[in-house]
Structure 1
Amino acid sequence: MTNSDKQTDISTLSFEEALKQLETIVRELEQGNVPLERSIEIYERGATLRQHCDKLLKSAEAKVEKIQLGQDGQPSGTVALDPES
């Protein structure tokens, strides 16, 4: 993670940008050669990035709609996607 990544406000990141940073953090932590203070710092940023990604996914999910088909097979409208079904 570069210095500019540390300075970037997470709330301005796209899902893809946040996920890329999160993957970088995971790789760094898995290598096991990061000093303790740095590990804590990037772990905290990773937790915030994960929350941001989760929020963006939920927002996208809320926008997805199912297309309803009429008896003739033609689209007759839309309804909100029910993630539980």
Structure 2
Amino acid sequence: MVAEIPPEQKAAIHAVVRAIENRDTDIYVAVRLAVTSPLSDDGVEDILAILRHVGYQRGMPAGGVIARMYDAFGAAERGMVWEPPYVYRDDRY
């Protein structure tokens, strides 16, 4: 059975999904949204699961997206601001 997700986590998850689905938005914008959202560990896992699902729907390899999410969360835990090495401008994430 899946536990109910608190409203603030739902809002954060939806914000990330909207950013991912918006083809004019770079992936790191979604990462920043996720990093700055008030998420518990469960919320982070929820976002990663949704990113996998959205990635598969769009035909992009989920591994790269998830690796960047983990990079961003790890940097946030260390009090650092994560910057992407470069910006993707196409759908091949």
Category of TM-score, reference length = shorter chain: 0.3 to 0.5
Q: TM-score, length-normalised on structure 1?
A: 0.37
Q: Name the structure, 1 or 2, with higher relative contact order (CA <8 Å, separation 6+).
A: 2
| Higher fraction of strand | 1
Larger Rg: 1
